[in-house]
Homo-oligomer: A and B are copies of this chain.
Amino acid sequence: MKGVYFLISTLAILASATFLVSASDPSPLQDFCVALNDTKSAEAVFVNGKFCKDPKLANANDFFFSGLQNPRNTQNPLGSNVTAVNVDNLLGLNTLGISLARIDFAPNGLNPPHTHPRATEILVVLEGTLYVGFVTSNGDGNRLFTKVLNKGDVFVFPIGLIHFQLNVGHVNAVAFAGLSSQNPGVITIAKAVFGSQPPINPDVLAKAFQVDDNVVDNLQKQFWYDNN
């Protein structure tokens, strides 16, 4: 009877798809650790980062991603579209501390103020003209550093600082960005503050932004598009 119980109990672990997880780290502890594909189980068990597949079963496709050659649809309220290539869709990046993104901008398109809690970003412009900038922390006086970038120009956004990119040219713009984490994370400021689920107590936001309650109310009722 104990054997049967054991069988069943063991079943739970894989059958209910617990091992979606994969261990990722600041530094890999073997040649690579290809992430196991996430599944949709409610009883999931995770580790910091992602679980890995058996290295003997790893192959070149685990380190491959295709499709960055195509412009993305920018017909949305922000006029921009971020295509991220990170550990969620390029499993071989697990534990390796880097990822990539393609960003498309319509004219006037904006990648709005946001932070990456776990990565610095280095951006290179492929087409078009971007006005970009970041703001330093309070202790540094919230200084704004900006630059207008043209084709072939590179700019750096240090980890954790609020930054943005705006297409100030008359045609579409495209940029590629490297990020110093396999899972950089994105926090779009306006969406996180006014579009959280559930909403933040309006008293907090009215006082923080020094505006009336009805301004906050209107902001919280808006639809906040996520271009990521």
Contacts and interface: CB of A to CB of B under 8 A. Distances in A.
Given A12-B11, A122-B98, A185 B160 contact: yes
A93 interface: yes
A191 B140 contact: no
Interface of A: 6-16, 18-19, 21-33, 36, 41-49, 51-61, 63-70, 77-78, 85, 90, 92-100, 108, 110, 112-113, 115, 117-122, 124, 126, 131, 133-147, 149-162, 164, 166, 176, 178-183, 185-201, 203-205, 207-211, 215, 219, 222, 226, 228
A147 B60 contact: yes
A9 B15 contact: yes
A182 B210 CA distance: 31
A85 B137 contact: no
Given A52-B46, A70-B152, A185-B30, A122 B178 contact: yes
Contacts of A188: 138
A30 B138 CA distance: 12
